[in-house]
Amino acid sequence: MCIAEAAELAKRALCLGVYLVPESCQCMSVFFIGEGGIRAVACNHSIEEWQKQYFSKAGAVSRQ
């Protein structure tokens, strides 16, 4: 997913409760949080790393 596509998706995602990964990823990626847990798209951080850096700051709770 290229940056332009991710940015466009991000605009629509904001009203759907979707969390974006930080810009430190090679491409902006989207994490969907729901009953099934977390699904990631093309991010150069592992989910565990991402959770430590982002979820802890956001105060979000996640299940895997």
- Calculate Rg over the CA atoms of the chain: 11
Question: Does the reported pTM lie above 0.75?
Answer: no
List per-residue pLDDT tens for the chain, 64 residues long. Answer: 455 666 666 555 544 444 554 444 444 445 555 555 445 444 444 556 655 655 555 544 444 4
> Structure tokens of 4?
């332009």
Separation CA 7–CA 59 (nearest Å): 23
